[in-house]
């Protein structure tokens, strides 16, 4: 019985998903001969038996020299009806707090703390307070300069708007700041956004954040509460993230996708995007490129 689907996606500007690669993958997981093309030369679906899950590490090893992602999902409830996504290094290419610190001239000091926090080496709330405290006394106008550096990752708008067109609810959640999430949410079409707040007084950063601090537990709680609000089972939910503070929500979602994630995430989450774009989050739901919106 073919209870799973293997989705193969090639990096668009670096490779073409050729017949040999598809055959290699199909044979590695004992997949069906019938393959569904989602985007010619870019993405296909291959029905697989449940045993494919055990063979996924070997398949990834076989594809190691190719810029191709391989993601297994269940045949049932592939199209998710709730999206909860991290922002920094997921929807956007930036770490916005690091960018803010760079404009303040203390980028390296703060980036080092960010890296340790995202790798799970530091408590998130403690690390956030420590980084924000270093910004005390700098002009709030630096926020606008950091915003000018922000770049959406490829496929961000397509992901959000395609899911919305097909009835999903979409939420952006970040351990960063509402100054950025509100703008990114508007750019992409997220229906709601949640993040921390930076305290400003007399046009200067005070070095403090609003309370309580939004961290990993809050991200998980948001996923759970939105699923309950929209009367959705867990398997109808999709969460995407890259850092340690995303791990609880990634584990709880019907599909948790690790996006160019830190080692602590890649070691815990099987569904991974390591070579391609956020378009892959649509392909793994069975959407063909012809159904994408918002490009």
CA distance 148 to 146: 5
Q: Which of 69, 88, 242, 246 is catalytic?
A: 88
Are 250 and 130 in contact by the 8 Å Cβ rule? The answer is no
CA distance 227 to 269: 21
User: Is 33 exposed, middle or buried, given 0-12, 13-18 or 19+ CB atoms closer than 10 A?
Assistant: exposed
65 part of the active site: no
Are 69 and 62 in contact by the 8 Å Cβ rule? The answer is no
- The three-class DSSP label of residue 172 is strand
Q: Which of 86, 98, 99, 246 is catalytic?
A: 86
98 part of the active site: no
Q: How far apart are the first and last CA of the chain?
A: 36
Q: How far is CA 5 from CA 31, 48, 49, 84, 242, in A?
A: 9, 5, 8, 22, 23
For strand 237-241 and strand 255-259, is the pairing parallel, antiparallel, or unpaired? parallel
Point out the residues that are catalytic. Answer: 86, 88
């Amino acid at each position: 019985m073919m209870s799973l689907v293997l989705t193969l996606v090639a990096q668009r500007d670096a490779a073409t998903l050729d017949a040999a690669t598809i055959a290699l993958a199909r044979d590695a997981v004992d997949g069906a001969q019938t393959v569904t093309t989602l985007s010619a030369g870019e993405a296909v679906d291959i029905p697989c038996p449940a045993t494919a899950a055990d063979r996924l590490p070997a398949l990834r090893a076989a594809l190691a020299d190719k810029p191709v992602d391989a993601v297994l999902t269940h045949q049932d409830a592939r199209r998710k009806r709730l999206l909860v996504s991290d922002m920094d290094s997921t929807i956007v290419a930036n770490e916005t707090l690091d960018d803010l610190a760079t404009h303040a001239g203390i980028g390296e000091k703060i980036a080092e703390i960010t890296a340790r926090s995202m790798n799970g080496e530091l408590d998130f709330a403690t690390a956030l307070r420590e980084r924000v405290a270093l910004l005390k006394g700098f002009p709030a106008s630096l926020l606008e300069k950091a915003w000018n550096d922000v770049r959406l990752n490829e496929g961000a708008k397509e992901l959000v708007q395609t899911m919305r067109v097909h009835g999903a609810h979409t939420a952006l959640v970040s351990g960063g700041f509402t100054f950025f999430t509100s703008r990114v949410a508007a750019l992409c079409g997220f229906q709601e956004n949640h993040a921390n707040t930076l305290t400003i007084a007399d046009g200067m950063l005070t070095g403090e954040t609003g309370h309580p601090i939004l961290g990993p537990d809050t991200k998980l709680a948001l996923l759970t509460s939105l699923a309950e609000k929209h009367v959705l089972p867990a398997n109808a939910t999709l969460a995407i993230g890259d850092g340690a503070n995303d791990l609880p929500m990634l584990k709880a979602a019907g599909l948790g996708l690790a996006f160019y994630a830190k080692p602590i995430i890649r070691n815990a989450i099987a569904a991974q995007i390591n070579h391609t774009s956020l378009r892959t989050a649509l392909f793994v739901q069975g959407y063909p490129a012809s159904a994408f919106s918002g490009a």
